Amino acid sequence: MPEGHSVHRIARQFALHFVGHQVAASSPQGRFAAGAQRIDGHVMTAAKAVGKQMFLEFDNHLWLRVHLGIYGAWDFAGDITADATMASSNGRMGQTNQRGTVVGAHEDSLASIGAPRRTRLRMAEQEVEGTLDTFPPPPIGAVRVRLLTDATCADLRGPTACDILLPEEVQIAIDKLGPDPILDPGKAAEDRFVATVLRKPTPICLLLMDQSVVAGIGNVYRAELLFRARLNPHTPGRELSETTVRALWKDWTKLLRIGVETGQMMTMDGLSPEAYDGAMASRADRHWVYHRAGEPCRVCGTPIVLEEIGGRKLYYCPKDQA
Ligand SMILES: [Zn+2]
């Protein structure tokens, strides 16, 4: 499932190429025909991500809300901004992206996304560039929504949620979500997260996945954040120290920014330039514990444990996170 960094990157494509433009909205599949009609022909005025949800505002004060869920994806075509991550993926859909990059580039500002060009790009959990033959491309398969400007096309497939909301309904949806460090970089957001965690009897591994506690963390970031903090995943929130919980928020902020910048859930630090490039190219090399059940811990060599909790897979080192 796309985690928060993916949704921020998608919102950024909309901000760069749709906001300020008149948009033709349709539902090639038909299932969202009535919704699309309500925004068809209007100018997009804002695009924002909150955790795993995205909100697109139009000049008639209606909003399109999208939650990709597990299977959802946006396919962009035409003038879009594909950064260096995608530039080296050999232009083939369905292939994991490769990256040859400058170490430390991920520390740059979120604005450095590269120059726009005419191409195709699928944005979901992974990002894959393709080739563009005609513009706009014919809609293929079950396209729930197509948003089209004179230069850029975005097709949405397989979302968990896709609906038109009034401004007050957007506020209600956002109020249900915990803080997102990119949307709310201030101390108030950190304080809100810390206060919530410190009063809950729930294990920290479940609190991090609870979108009302903190918005945007999924299974990969959850496992990695807990390992980086050397925290036992089963520790109740209220038994943690305030210092520990503040450090968790700061580390999430750091990892999320790297994810938005690079498009990869890079959760390891201190790598040599060679190891960094290897880790960016291969998921198996860029995590401490995620998806490494039975493999030796990169720190202590103990086999990584896989446990099912809350219906999701949890990975951790039983020694470093005892
Ligand atoms: Zn270990």
Three-state SS sequence of the chain: CCCHHHHHHHHHHHHHHCECCEEEEECCCCCCHHHHHHHCCEEEEEEEEECCEEEEEECCCCEEEEECCCCCEEEEEEEECCCHHHHCCCCCCCCCCCCCCCCCHHHCCCCCCCCCEEEEEEECCCEEEECCCCCCCCCCCCEEEEEECCCEEEEEECCCEEEEECHHHHHHHHHCCCCCCCCCCCHHHHHHHHHHHHHCCCEHHHHCCCCCCCCCCCHHHHHHHHHHCCCCCCCEHHHCCHHHHHHHHHHHHHHHHHHHHHCCCCCCCCCCHHHHHHHHHCHHHCCCCCCCECCECCCCCCEEEEEEECCEEEEECCCCCC
What are the residue ranges spanned by the domains of the chain?
4-174, 179-316
Q: Tell me the CA–centroid distance for residue 128 and ligand 1, in Å.
A: 33
Phi, psi torsion values for 206, nearest 5 degrees: -85, -35
Kindly report, residue by residue over 287-299, the tens digit of the pLDDT: 999 999 999 999 9
Among the options 200, 254, 312, 319, which is catalytic? 312
Name the residue with higher pLDDT: 158 or 116: 158
Indicate if 318 belongs to the active site.
no
Kindly report, residue by residue over 193-233, the tens digit of the pLDDT: 999 999 999 999 999 999 999 999 999 999 999 999 999 99
Q: Tell me the CA–centroid distance for residue 318 and ligand 1, in Å.
A: 7
% residues pLDDT > 90 (the chain)? 76
Q: What is the per-residue pLDDT for 205?
A: 98
**114 band by pLDDT with thresholds 50, 70 and 90:** low
Q: Tell me the CA–centroid distance for residue 301 and ligand 1, in Å.
A: 6
The answer, as to whether pTM is greater than 0.85, is: yes
Q: Tell me the CA–centroid distance for residue 267 and ligand 1, in Å.
A: 16
On the question of pLDDT at 91 being above 50, the answer is no
The mean pLDDT of 77-88, rounded to a whole number, is: 65
Indicate if 192 belongs to the active site.
no
The mean pLDDT of 305-322, rounded to a whole number, is: 97
On the question of pLDDT at 99 being above 60, the answer is no
Architecture of domain 4-174: Alpha-Beta Barrel (3.20)
Among the options 2, 136, 181, 203, which is catalytic? 2
CATH 3.40.50.11890 assigned to 179-316: no
Indicate if 3 belongs to the active site.
yes
Topology alike, domains 4-174 and 179-316 = no
Q: Tell me the CA–centroid distance for residue 152 and ligand 1, in Å.
A: 47
